[in-house]
Amino acid sequence: MAGELPITRNPVGAEKAEAIRCAVRLATAMGDSRLARMEDAAGLFALLSDPAVHAPIYTLPRPLTLGSVEDFIDTHFLEREVGIGLLFVREGEGGQILGYSDVQVWPEYGAGELGGALHPSLHGQGSGARGAAASFGWMFETLGLNLLCETAALDNVATQRLLDGLSFRRMGEVMSTRSDGTRRASLVWEMTREEWAGRHGRV
């Protein structure tokens, strides 16, 4: 996550923050995706090796190798233990990894961010938008978040359209830092729990 995020920082009480951490620790699935396991490393690496998948995403490890993907999974194990992060994978028939979701949480602000990608064979079918909307709803409902904060590269038109289409509010621009220390400009959107409920139904 970029250090500048979330843009809106409304601290929640200690009890609320701990409830969010507990919800993260207890989570095992998000829709049709399950928690990533170390044995998923090779399949996840195969998915992420495609530039159409990894190029727009600043949170992925760099350089991208099987070992760095294993470290990426292991880091999420540790994040889940302390209640600040989750890594899910979506399997196709035969066990191929067709997508992943990276959930990052700021319990102290009741806020979270969702990242991820789908296999190129699933692009352009509307499944990405439907899956993202379901995942955002899950983060509000299951994790008990008050705010979602999302980012996209300046040239990532598909994600920009998705977030605008879901009525996220544009909040400006920040510099996002990749794992290798390089930086890129990112557009930022936010959505509160109340805004989501008003636009997309009860949470």
- Work out whether the CA dihedral 31, 96, 84, 106 comes out positive or negative: negative
Helix (H, G, I), strand (E, B) or coil at 63: coil
Interval 78-115: pLDDT, tens: 999 999 999 999 998 888 999 999 999 999 999 999 99
Class of domain 14-148: alpha beta
Per-residue pLDDT band for 128 (boundaries 50, 70, 90) equals low
Interval 31-65: pLDDT, tens: 999 999 999 999 999 999 998 888 888 899 999 99
Instruction: Please state the rounded mean pLDDT for residues 122-142.
Output: 82
Instruction: Return phi, psi of residue 177, to 5°.
Output: -105, 125
Nearest 5°: CA angle at 130, between 80 and 168? 80
**CB-based contacts of 182, cutoff 8 Å, min separation 6:** 62
Interval 148-181: pLDDT, tens: 999 998 988 989 999 999 999 999 999 988 777 8
What's the pLDDT score for residue 73? 98
User: Per-residue pLDDT for 129 more than 60?
Assistant: yes
Per-residue pLDDT band for 6 (boundaries 50, 70, 90) equals very high
